[in-house]
Structure formats: C-alpha cells, structure tokens
C-alpha cells in the first residue's frame, strides 16, 4: 500500500460526475436495452418510453418475464421491439474469472449473476450491430422525460457515460438506505438504471458479477470525469429491509465499490489497492456500520419500527463483512483486471452482423420481435457444444499473436 492513511467511506461521490456540454448536433440512441425478471406488465413504461422517443427496444428476459408476452405488448403499442429469453448462467463465452471464482461466489451469498450477464449481452449486441449509443433502462424506472433521453444521448458526444439519477426513491444499497434513515446526508451516484453508453470505443468495459456492477463498469470514466450527470428519473419504491439476506448479499460489492471510489475521490490509483489497503478499509467499513446502528437507535418514535428492521439488515451486513478477508478483496481486483483484458480481446474478435435478428442468432439466443405478426422464431446457432465458440468468435492467426490475448490467458 502506498500510504498508511485510508479514506473514510463517504456520503457522496458527486465530485466524480461532470456536467454535459451542449452537443453540436441532434443525437439519438440506437436502442434501449431493458434487462428484466418481472412479468411483462412491469414493462409498460419502458415500452411507452421507447414509443415516445422512437427508439428500438431490446428486452432480455428471465425469471417471470417471457419474450412472447413482451413483444405482444410492444406490438399493440406500435413499438419496434425485440425480446429474448436469457438462459441461466453466463451466455457469453468470455470465461470471466470473477464469475467462476468460488470464494467470490460464496461471499456474494448466492447472488444471481443475471443482471450483469444481460447488460453484457446488450454491450455485445451494440458491437455486433455497429451501434454507437446505447441506453440501459431498468424495469423499475419511470418518470423519464423525452427531452431527458435526448440529452442523455447528446451528452455522449463529449462523454463515455451519461446518467439519470433516481431521486424519488434513491438507488442505494440496503446499508446506505439505513444510513439515510438514521439521518445522514447519503447521496445517490450514477447507476445503470438509466444510463447512456458510448459503445464504439476500444476501452468499453464489462459488468462483473457483483453488487454495484455498474460502478465497476464505469470506474475508468469516474476516474477521468467522463460521466455526465444529465437529469433525474424515478425508481419504484420497495422495502430494502424485507429480508436481512439482501444486505448480506450486497456487502462484498458495496465494500469493494466504496473502497475503490473512496480512492477515486482523492485521485488515488484504484489498481494500487492491495491487501493492506483492504485490511484498513474493512475497518473503516465496520466503523461505518457502527455509526449507522447508533444513528438508527436515535430515530424519532414514528420511524422506530422501520429502524429496527433496518438494524437487522445492518447486523447481517456486518456479519458478512466479518467473513470477508483483505486477501479476497485483493483477489477480486486482480481477477477483475484480468477479465477486462479477456473482454477487450473478445470484443475485438467478434464479427459485425447485418441485423438485430442475425446478431441474436449469432449469440445463440432465440428472439421474437414485434414486427412479425406471426412472431416466427429465429433458429438459434446450432454449434456442437455451448462451450465452443461459433466460428466468428474464434481469433484469426493474426489475433492469436495479439498481446491482449496473451494477457487474457495469464
């Protein structure tokens, strides 16, 4: 570790965001990508927004969401939409080490990697289609003005990432929700819940399988102040304290993200965070838990029942923190950095496709779209094994000698 001083977990990282400049030309998104596990009825707002902005909609389904139901709704609304059911596991043959590591998976408390995998699929679709600008929208986001979408796209003329900040119901971790309930001035940072991404760049990152996956995705942009804060959105409310296990499953990702962004706040290199740094920051995180618990014990009588449930969640997070070692944090950072190199090679190796349907076929996903009245299915790629790459994924002889490929294999 370069310094014995370790920053505190802060209430805000707003200084890392930038204000968008005025775009010289009108800009539009190539598509809106919505990852979902909820029934199609929860997508009414996403479909309506796609219609208002005349932007194609890509819906990646699993759980209680089914592609046929989604495109039927979109067709009735006259919206150009494509939907695919995404299988369990990581559908991309990248070989992410952060996805496969058993210690990280155990510390994630069985967190479903579904969201990260779908967002990565969206990025790959953009590269397959040659799209420059992609909007990610969560299925629980609403209240987005048409003008805000235009500004989100325009901001990508000078930034790599643009973001809408959910205000009505803040997009925070369970522990940070508890901190706000205790009276802190907990802020809300950018997230992928309503985000624009410039996809035609060599340093496009990926979403790792961990809580706060979006913070890792745009960490480089945060460090270089390339995230444009454009406007606000609204997030549907939920009970963050419904079950303490939620806080426990978030703790590793929250610890790592807060620890890295605490360094970014003071312009420190995140890759220099070694086991010694994490030993100190775990201590800082434990102190933060204690402050939150003490504050919850002092809330007004009308909030005491909610504060008691919040305290149970914070205790669950603290118990999980006690299981996390500095060495595990250092391992995640090392594997994440290695995975970035694998991802860069993977994006370089894929071949452009002529249509959205062809791109889904290339990925081995069965897609339906709102344009086809009969909703004829497009056949999936029929390779010999799902563990083998389609021909277009294989590196050429020239690519095999590429230094990024050698680095990814280490």
pLDDT of 272 reads 94
Pairing verdict, β 57-61 and 31-36: parallel
Domain around 227: 14-343
Q: Are 318 and 250 in contact (CB under 8 A)?
A: no
pLDDT tens, residue by residue, 101-148: 999 999 988 677 699 999 999 999 999 999 999 999 999 999 999 999
Is residue 169 assigned to a domain? yes
H/E run at residue 368: strand 367-369
The phi and psi torsions of 36 (rounded to 5 degrees) equal: -150, 150
15 vs 292 pLDDT, higher one: 292
274 vs 234 pLDDT, higher one: 274
Is residue 374 assigned to a domain? no
Provide the domain count of the chain.
Answer: 1
Average pLDDT over residues 64-68: 92
pLDDT at 199 over 60: yes
Is residue 178 assigned to a domain? yes
Go through 117-142 and write b for each residue having 16 or more CB atoms within 10 A of its CB, e for each that does not: bbbbbbbbbbbbbebbbbbbbbbbbb
What's this model's pTM, rounded to 2 decimal places? 0.86
- What is the CB-side half-sphere exposure of residue 159 using CA atoms within 13 A? 31
Residue linked to tokens 């920053």: 7
Strand-by-strand arrangement of the 141-142 sheet: 141-142, 227-235, 161-166, 194-198, 133-137, 31-36, 57-61, 81-85, 367-369
pLDDT tens, residue by residue, 165-174: 887 777 778 9
Rounded-to-integer distance, Cα 109 and Cα 249, Å: 5
pLDDT of 6 reads 60
pLDDT tens, residue by residue, 251-264: 999 999 999 999 99
Is residue 386 assigned to a domain? no
Name the average pLDDT for the chain. Answer: 86
pLDDT tens, residue by residue, 206-232: 999 999 999 999 999 999 988 999 988
Pairing verdict, β 161-166 and 227-235: parallel
Is residue 59 assigned to a domain? yes
pLDDT of 379 reads 39
pLDDT of 58 reads 98
22 confidence band (pLDDT: 50, 70, 90) = low
Is residue 393 assigned to a domain? no
The token pair that represents 372 in the structure block: 């086809």
Is residue 369 assigned to a domain? no
- What is the CB-side half-sphere exposure of residue 372 using CA atoms within 13 A? 12
Q: What is the CATH number of the domain that holds 237?
A: 3.90.550.10
Instruction: Tell me the residue ranges of DSSP E strands in 126-252.
Output: 133-137, 141-142, 161-166, 194-198, 227-235
């Amino acid at each position: 570790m370069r310094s014995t001083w370790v920053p505190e977990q802060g209430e805000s990282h707003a200084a890392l965001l930038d204000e968008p400049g005025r775009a010289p030309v009108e800009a539009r998104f190539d598509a809106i990508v919505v990852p979902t596990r909820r029934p199609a009825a929860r997508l009414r707002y996403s479909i309506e927004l796609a219609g208002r902005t005349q932007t194609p909609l890509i819906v990646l389904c699993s759980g209680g969401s089914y592609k046929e139901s989604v495109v039927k709704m979109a067709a009735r609304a006259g919206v150009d939409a494509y939907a695919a059911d995404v299988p369990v596991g990581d559908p991309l043959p990248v070989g992410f080490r952060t996805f496969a590591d058993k210690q990280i998976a155990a510390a994630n408390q069985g967190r479903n990697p579904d969201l990260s995998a779908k967002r990565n699929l969206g990025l790959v679709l953009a590269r397959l289609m040659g799209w420059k600008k992609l909007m990610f929208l969560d299925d629980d986001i609403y209240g987005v003005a048409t003008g805000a979408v235009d500004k989100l796209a325009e901001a990508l003329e000078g930034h790599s990432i643009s973001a809408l900040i959910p205000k009505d119901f803040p997009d925070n971790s369970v522990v940070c929700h508890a901190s706000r309930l205790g009276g802190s001035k907990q802020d809300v940072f950018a997230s992928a819940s309503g985000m624009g991404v410039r996809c035609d760049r060599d340093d496009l990152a990926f979403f790792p399988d961990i809580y706060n996956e979006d913070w890792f995705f745009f960490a480089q942009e945060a460090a270089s102040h390339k995230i444009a804060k454009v406007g606000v959105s609204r997030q549907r409310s939920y009970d963050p304290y419904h079950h303490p296990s939620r806080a426990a499953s978030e703790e590793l990702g929250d610890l790592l993200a807060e620890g890295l962004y605490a360094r970014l706040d003071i312009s420190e290199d995140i890759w220099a965070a070694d086991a010694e740094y994490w030993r100190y920051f775990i201590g800082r995180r434990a102190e933060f838990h204690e402050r939150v618990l003490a504050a919850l014990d002092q809330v007004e009588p009308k909030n005491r029942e909610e504060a008691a449930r919040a305290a149970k969640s914070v205790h669950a997070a603290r118990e999980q923190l006690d299981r996390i070692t500095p060495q595990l944090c250092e391992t995640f950072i090392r594997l994440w950095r290695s995975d970035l190199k694998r991802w860069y090679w993977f994006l370089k190796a894929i071949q452009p496709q002529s249509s959205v349907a062809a791109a889904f076929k290339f990925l081995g996903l069965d897609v339906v779209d709102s344009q086809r009245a009969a909703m004829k299915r497009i056949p999936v790629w029929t390779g010999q094994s799902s563990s083998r790459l389609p021909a277009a994924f294989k590196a050429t002889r020239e690519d095999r000698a590429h230094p990024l490929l050698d680095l990814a294999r280490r």
